[in-house]
Amino acid sequence: MAEAKEAYISILEKKLAELTGIEVDQIKKNQFANAADEAVAIREMASYVEGIVVQQAGVAQAGTVSPQIAQMFAHINAELGEERGAHALPPLKYDFNALEPHISGMIMEIHHTKHHQGYINNLIAATKKVGI
């Protein structure tokens, strides 16, 4: 049973490397390094948040954009090259069924067109809600 599992994982890793051009061992190394960095960052953020004291409640004003929200949209623009309100789900760089038989094409299609599209829909809704 363990051998079959290892063979399955090996085949899947080879297919991912073929489709993406990135070796799975490199991805694993990056993930371990990123996880260690994230753990440090999370501890620092938790410490920072614990020290926050709210002096008074914030007040929203129509037509005024929070600098923090503006900065968030600036990050989105830098990452995706999209202007505020013009967000769209980028197409996959491979066919939905490219990972079959390991991952169903139908699952990939649903995941991309429903799940990921949901993030885009929420981003567009948030953009409209804050008037940007």
Among 53-57, 84-88, 106-110, 113-117, the least confident range: 84-88
Q: What is the pLDDT of residue 16?
A: 79
CB of 11 closer than 8 Å to CB of 24? no
Q: Given a cut of 80, is residue 132 above it in pLDDT?
A: no
The per-residue pLDDT for 76 is: 74
Which amino acid appears at position 94 of this protein?
A: Y
Residue 131 carries which DSSP code? T
Domains of the chain by residue range: 1-53, 60-132
pTM of the model: 0.40
Q: pLDDT for 14-72, tens place per residue?
A: 887 788 777 777 777 777 777 777 888 888 888 888 888 888 877 777 777 778 878 87
User: Which string of DSSP letters, residue by residue, matches 80-123?
Assistant: H---TT---PPPPSS-GGGGTTTS-HHHHHHIIIIIIHHHHHHH
Helix or strand holding residue 50 (H, E): helix 24-50
